[in-house]
Structure 1
Amino acid sequence: MLFLVISSPRPERPSSMRPGQKAYWDWLNGLEAAGVVRHVWNKVGRGAIVVLDVDSHEKLHVLLNQWAEHVPASFEVYAVTPKSFQETIARQGTNPLEL
């Protein structure tokens, strides 16, 4: 399952968060290498937009808690589908998941 996650870190001084930020990047790079993180963009100022590929809501919950341990933040979470899914429906008039 794909989830687009937008983080909004707490408004603390960035310099006070450097150790957590370093740990965050190590953590995020490991998830990217494992294929869990599909895309990462940084928001201007602070925060990030990340696409996660996980197999359950519980796994998503664990990852968001780990993220907040490194950089305390609030999160907006959106479930998304690949472009190809909706394109197939539009072009063929059928749902690829219908049995």
Structure 2
Amino acid sequence: MLFLVISTPRPERPTTLIDSRSRYWDWMRPLLNSGLARSVHARVGRGAVALFDVDSNTTLHRLMNEWSDIIPAHFEVYPLLDEDTAKAYLATQTPSTGDAR
């Protein structure tokens, strides 16, 4: 199950979070190595974007709680389909006969 997670940290001075930000990357490294996280990118200014490939919502919930323990943040979560799944779904659809505006 693919999820795009976008974090927006609490509005604190970035310099007060240097240690936490370093711990975040240390926490993320094994997730990237194992494939649980496919990619992660720092956002310009503050925050991060991660693409998780998890087996369940429970695993995603655990990861987001661990992340929030390191750097408290608001999270936006977007469930995604990979290309093959999206194409397979499209193949099952029938064209609409309605007005395509």
Structure whose alpha-carbon radius of gyration is higher: 2
Q: Deviation above 3 Å: which 4+ runs of structure 1?
A: none
Unaligned runs of 5+ in 1: none
Which string of whole-angstrom CA distances, capped at 9 and with x for unpartnered residues, describes residues 20-66 of structure 1? 11110000011101110001122110111111011111111110010
- The 5 Å alignment of 1:28-43 reads 28-43=28-43
Q: Corresponding residue for 2:99? A: none
TM-score, normalised relative to structure 1 = 0.86
Q: State the number of aligned residues.
A: 93
Q: Corresponding residue for 1:51? A: 51
Unaligned runs of 5+ in 2: 94-101
Q: Corresponding residue for 1:17? A: 17
TM-score, normalised relative to structure 2 = 0.85
CA RMSD of superposed structures (Å): 1.4
Note the C-alpha offset of 1:94. Answer: 3.0
Evaluate the alpha carbon distance shift between residue 16 and residue 36 of structure 1 in structure 2; reply closer, same or farther with a 3 A threshold.
same
Structure 2 Cα separation of the partners of residues 84 and 43 of structure 1: 28
Structure 2 Cα separation of the partners of residues 42 and 10 of structure 1: 15
Q: Corresponding residue for 2:92? A: 94
Q: Corresponding residue for 2:72? A: 72
Structure 2 Cα separation of the partners of residues 61 and 89 of structure 1: 26
Structure 2 Cα separation of the partners of residues 2 and 19 of structure 1: 29
